[in-house]
A and B are shown apart, each in its own frame.
Chain A
Amino acid sequence: MSLEVLGITVLWLFLYGYLIVASIDFGAGFFAFYGKLSKKDHIMNDLISRYLSPVWEVTNVFFVFFFVGLVGFFPDTAYYYGTALLIPGSIALILLAIRGSFYAFGNYGSKNNIFYLFLYGGTGLLIPAALSTALTISEGGYLKKDHDRVIFLVGKLFSSPYSWSVVLLSIVSVLFISAAFLTYYADRAGDVRAREVLRKFALFWSPPTILASFLVFVSLREHNPEHFRQTLQVWWMFGLSLVFFFIASYFIYKKKNYGIAFISVMLQFFTAFFGYGISHLPYILYPFVTIHESVTNETMGTALVVVFIAGLLLLIPSLYLLMRLFLFDADYVQGKK
């Protein structure tokens, strides 16, 4: 495997990791707020906070990891995305900042403050929309290069069906992934009432997820036919994704095997996300940045890979410990510790 392919694979894996953990986190915030509004908070909010408290910081690191790694492996992206994303990126950052700090304010400081919960839950839906802008831009057509300047065509982004379908997909996926996970978590906690509420959320958000995915395909065909053609070459990955989606929905509907259901959700997004990623190559930012031309020099690339492996050797046991203590420890999940 060449350095650039290795690099982009590692980064894509991290982005996928962020997609899953952040979706759980963003969705959970929204459900907690919704629960409070609809007076169901006594049923499920304890459960949500028991899961989120020890892990929210880790979620954030996945994101930092991705963009630091991207700039490291492909420094040209810093130039193009950096210039283009000043406004949308700043908005996403401010939302992330509000969310992270208000989580702490609400959870450790003033418990049950509805305003804090509102900011925390509301931003949970806006952030995926803001962050997905970066993916939309990567399709090309929203940036113009004028000599040494990169110009971001905001109007085009806002009037593009493709960009709106991506936003839609990001929001409904967040709610679906999160509800599927929390249903499983509630089931492990033996909390039947919370499980029933969350299961309904999962079922409710399941059809829109798949509809939004189709919408993205359709609008991609209009926006970037070249990329669309390439997705057809890995059609089987998207087919697998659909199969996993049906498995997940089936189990959730039948009220059994919630663990397998959630793993299926993860696989559903894994196959779709990697199918999308593979068909996007060799472009990182169409048509300005490709993985071959913009990859960092070899010394740095090798150093990054070495550090990456060393880092994983440190992180995997630590993450395992974290999950053992808070995710797979029955007593903790049930609130006895």
Chain B
Amino acid sequence: MTLDHVMLSRMLTSLTLAFHIIFATIGVGIPVMVSIAEFIGIKKNDSHYILLARRWARGFTITVAVGVVTGTCIGLQLSMLWPSFMKVAGQVIALPLFMETFAFFFEAIFLGIYLYTWDRFKNKWLHWLLTIPIMIGSSASALFITTVNAFMNTPQGFELKNGKAVNIDPIAAMLNPATPSKVLHVITSSYMTSALVLAAITAILILKGKRSEYYKKALRLTVAASLIFSIGTALAGDISAKFLAEVQPEKLAAAEWHFETEKDADLILFGTLDEHNQIKNEIRIPKMLSFLAGSSFDTKVIGLDEFPKDEQPPLWIHYMFDLMVSIGSFAIFITFLFLISWKAERFNEWSKPLLWGVAITGPLSMLAIEFGWIYAEVGRQPWILRGYIKVAQAATTGEGVGLTFIMFAILYLVLAILTCVVLIKMFRRKPAETELEQRFQIKAS
């Protein structure tokens, strides 16, 4: 590996995105949870849920701020690190980028209003209604920006002539083949991860001895939401796999270490590769890959052998894929177990192992988001615009990428630490119990 402009540009882009998606994911999912909690609170006239919405929204402001600034960073870095790419593709993807900003604008306006009008309207439903534009804005910006990423995977809606994009059809570019499955997977997994992060925080607090009604309601709500969103994510993931098998087979083949095109393809779980690309130590599920790719056990699955060597993605993305899927399955399992224990009288949903299970699933699912993105992005290497422009042709020729990388690395480190410190301080300083008493005159029991 040489640290040339291309490598450094890739490193900086990865660094910014890896950091940004933590906050972007939360930014898409938390508004939904806040909205649900406030809705239940008003409907049931239960102050516990209202307080949940309030406290989540308050913490959300901190993560939104970091999300906004890192989003601005990646927005500009696209042009600064990949100027040649933007010069060509900018013509084709300007529309969704523009629309994303609109969606974000819309969200920003209503988030500001929402946060500062908790006690301003007589009719409580009016305040709840404000969550709708926030959810529309945050999910729509995820949608639009994902169409851009989908376009880079399956470009269409233009022709490349002498290095210039011509005959552009902006709508066709947005509605490219990868768009539906990608958008669905991004949005469901963001909802899922946000719900699980909130569930994990609650589970940790309960493990630390908080036992009042407030925490119990919080955990039941977040775990129930997590299960629904996890199942949605799994379905979306399945749709994505089928899409890949059909349209972008080299990505699936690299992820599954599927070297030769064949029917009755086996699914490889984990394992290692030796120097001759022989698979060792794997768990092999016969014919499962064919089933995943086409819903029948004898579907023909295209292998890596059909692609020239210099157009194959690296094989280590296999681990990313497997880790993502394993965590997703574990999330469904643990949330399902919790709900069964809650509904079935004989079990205890507050048992320590179960709470620990929920507690680790939060951070794990955030890791799964990272693994999933790494898989999706590295899986289209060496292309930046699949089939048109390779990454190596698109990077900046400007001086100082290395220095810039170091500056941003320090920035993100500081922001990461301070975000945690500030959030923890914020909630410790004003515990839910005090707030329940002061605001709603409820004694915590």
Chain A contact residues, CB within 8 Å of chain B: 53-55, 57-58, 60-61, 63-65, 67-69, 71-73, 75-76, 78-87, 89-91, 93-94, 96-101, 103-105, 108-110, 148-150, 152, 296-297, 299-300, 303-304, 307-308, 311, 314-315, 318-319, 321-322, 325-326, 337
Contact = CB atoms under 8 A, between A and B. Distances in A.
Interface in B134-168: 165-166, 168
Interface residues of B, number: 74
Contacts of A110: 422, 425-426
Contacts of B111: 57
B398 A72 contact: no
B90 A71 contact: yes
B397 A149 contact: yes
Nearest to A108: B61
B396 A82 contact: yes
B72 A108 contact: no
A148 B75 CA distance: 24
B10 to A, nearest CB: 15
B330 interface: no
B102 A314 contact: yes
Nearest to A109: B422
Given A65-B101, A86-B396, A307-B102, A105 B72 contact: no
A89 to B, nearest CB: 5
B90 A78 contact: yes
A300 B95 contact: yes
B418 A94 contact: no
A297 B166 CA distance: 8
Contacts of A89: 76, 80
B367 interface: no
A313 to B, nearest CB: 11
Given A78-B83, A86-B404, A61 B61 contact: no
B113 A100 contact: no
A259 B50 CA distance: 39
21 contacts: A54-B115, A58-B109, A64-B72, A64-B101, A68-B97, A71-B86, A78-B83, A82-B79, A82-B86, A83-B397, A83-B398, A89-B80, A93-B72, A93-B73, A97-B411, A108-B426, A152-B399, A303-B95, A304-B94, A318-B106, A326-B112
A72 B109 contact: no
B170 A303 contact: yes
Given A57-B108, A83-B398, A322-B113, A101 B69 contact: yes
A73 B94 contact: yes
A55 B112 contact: yes
A315 B105 contact: yes
B28 interface: no
A301 to B, nearest CB: 9
A189 to B, nearest CB: 16
B83 A82 contact: yes
A318 B109 contact: yes
A100 B69 contact: yes
Nearest to A296: B91
Contact of A57 (B64, B66, B119, B419): B64
B110 interface: yes
A44 B253 CA distance: 63
B344 interface: no
| Residues of A contacting B: mostly | helix
Interface in B36-77: 58, 61-62, 64-66, 68-73, 75-77
Contact of A300 (B81, B168, B398): B168
A183 B399 CA distance: 45
B169 interface: yes
B374 interface: no
A3 to B, nearest CB: 13
Given A75-B94, A83-B398, 16 more contacts: A54-B115, A68-B75, A83-B83, A85-B80, A86-B400, A87-B404, A98-B411, A100-B65, A100-B72, A101-B66, A297-B91, A300-B95, A315-B105, A318-B106, A321-B113, A326-B112
Contacts of A63: 72
A303 B170 CA distance: 8
B411 A108 contact: no
Top 8 A-B pairs, shortest CB-CB distance: A72-B94, A104-B65, A109-B422, A82-B83, A82-B79, A54-B112, A78-B86, A75-B90
A74 B411 CA distance: 31
B317 interface: no
B4 to A, nearest CB: 14
B151 to A, nearest CB: 13
A234 B256 CA distance: 66
B79 A71 contact: yes
A101 B69 CA distance: 7
B415 interface: yes
Given A71-B86, A87-B400, A87-B404, A304 B98 contact: yes
B119 to A, nearest CB: 8
B98 A308 contact: yes
B108 to A, nearest CB: 4
A7 B220 CA distance: 51
A83 B76 contact: no
